[in-house]
Amino acid sequence: MKYISTRGQAPALGFEDVMLTGLASDGGLYIPESLPQYSAEEMKKLAELDYPSLAVEIVRPFVSDFLNEAKLQQIVGDTYKVFRHKAVAPLTQLGTNEWVMELFHGPTLAFKDFALQLLGRLLDESLGRRNEKAVILGATSGDTGSAAIEGCRACEHVDIFIMHPHNRVSEVQRRQMTTVLADNVHNIAIEGTFDDCQALVKASFADQSFLGEKRRLVAVNSINWARIMAQVVYYFYAALSLGAPEKEVSFSVPTGNFGDIFAGYIAKKMGLPVKKLIVATNCNDILHRFFADNSYSKEQLAPTLSPSMDIMVSSNFERLLFDVQDRNGEQLKLMMEAFDKTGSISIDNNRWQAVKVLFDSDRSSDEDVVSTIKQVSDDCSGYLLDPHTAIGVKAARTCSVDVATPIVILATAHPVKFPEAIVRAGLREPELPVWLSDLHERPEKYDVLKDDMKGLHGYIQSTLNL
């Protein structure tokens, strides 16, 4: 399988090079040239598999030029055996045809473990073969950082630098990153927003000269195709568990960067009978404004009870726009350049109406979040939602979804990571799992830096003695 850039000017690459490259040389994002297709009969066979076996089947076509069958099975098996629920991604029923898919049973209690536990192992396999060292530079609004660190802390060939916005992530999220004291793990608090951190990452990938010739820069943010690929699996797992291919299934997805829900779009294009994909956002609602009003435009960022979605610009949205623009890279390039200049774009109305056949969207305030957490707790014997998942539940119940169609809300994080929202809902603060019970006593290590690319690069050079 070959991968092409959304902006049409970069060479097509195989999976390994795409994984190591991250952002394409023309500034675009890589996407498969074509997608594997699954018939109804093939999906019936997939429905018989447990999660790791299903992951092998779904991932295989994307990595066939990189891993043989035995190595793929080993890496996938190692990835999901660290999850603490036998089903890996269990479904919990909230109401008639309403289900929560719990994606928080990995090492860092967030959905990003699904992709980053896999990506860390894939990177180490690739770099070991090449006898290379890599520098991972990432930005996090909360959960990506800890999941990336946990996935890469044991990698022999990687040094990882993760930036988070200073004082803008929850304490549990910060401590899950900063209490990992491995020699190859480096945490940085940037005096700014998540978007400032993301901009530093993109600028660093555009000019990697600060690393010299002995190291390569690797992205673990959701711009890396390997992450999208891994997330496709749980859409298949949920839909097949609820009756696909005979039944259509809808999904409500809390999303800021558009990566998680784009995986659902890919699953749909691979043949999975997805009826609706609901984009669930907080008041930082650039995605909702696009799907509601055909307006993809920057606005001032506001801190919320759902900080992992406090994002002004959705990095992965470009991948959908590429498809919407008939995969015309040159046209997409001009559109993104216009967005960079003006901070606002829209698409042709006919194309927008076509997109809305599959996608719907909703926006939640902090008050909506708190009331949804309380309502679900009252209705479902004390079942707790984290604030992001609450946004997904509210969106599922707000948007016009056929009541005969099962709807799955993606539970993106464990509620213990966001105690403020739980307490504001009038509920008792959740306790950390036993294996994390001493998190608040563990020593932390991180540095605070200004939002400055030269200072960041100097910090990395000094840390690595380059």
**Tens digit of pLDDT for each residue in 23-51?**
898 999 999 999 999 999 999 999 999 99
In this predicted model, what pLDDT tens digit does every residue of 55-72 receive, in sequence order?
999 999 999 999 999 999
pLDDT computed for residue 425 by the predictor = 97
Question: Which residues pair with residue 296 across a beta bridge?
Answer: 345
Q: Cα(246)–Cα(337) distance, rounded to whole angstroms?
A: 43
Q: Cα(221)–Cα(101) distance, rounded to whole angstroms?
A: 22
pLDDT computed for residue 22 by the predictor = 80
In this predicted model, what pLDDT tens digit does every residue of 429-453 receive, in sequence order?
999 889 889 999 999 999 999 999 9
Contact criterion met (CB below 8 Å) for 336 and 290: no
One-letter amino acid at 151 equals G
CA distances in angstroms from 305 to 89, 106, 168, 365, 366, listed in the order given: 25, 22, 10, 9, 6
Using DSSP's 3-state secondary structure scheme, residue 69 falls into helix
In this predicted model, what pLDDT tens digit does every residue of 413-435 receive, in sequence order?
999 999 999 999 999 999 988 98
pTM of the prediction?
0.93
Exposed, middle or buried, 434 (CB in 10 Å: 0-12/13-18/19+)? exposed
Q: Does 143 score more than 90 pLDDT?
A: no
17: Cβ contacts below 8 Å, ≥ 6 apart: none
Active site annotation includes 2: no
In this predicted model, what pLDDT tens digit does every residue of 87-117 receive, in sequence order?
999 999 999 999 999 999 999 999 999 999 9
In 295-396, at which residue ranges do the beta strands (DSSP E only) sit? Answer: 296-297, 344-345, 359-363
pLDDT computed for residue 53 by the predictor = 98
Between residues 12 and 435, the one the model is more confident about: 12
In this predicted model, what pLDDT tens digit does every residue of 226-269 receive, in sequence order?
999 999 999 999 999 999 999 999 999 999 999 999 999 999 99
- Domains of the chain, first to last: 87-107+225-424 (3.40.50.1100)
Q: Which residue has the tokens 């070991």?
A: 128
Indicate which residue of 2, 71, 112, 341 is catalytic. Answer: 112
In this predicted model, what pLDDT tens digit does every residue of 269-309 receive, in sequence order?
999 999 999 999 999 999 999 999 999 999 999 999 998 89
Which two structure tokens, joined as six digits, stand for 132? 């290379």
Which two structure tokens, joined as six digits, stand for 357? 């056949």
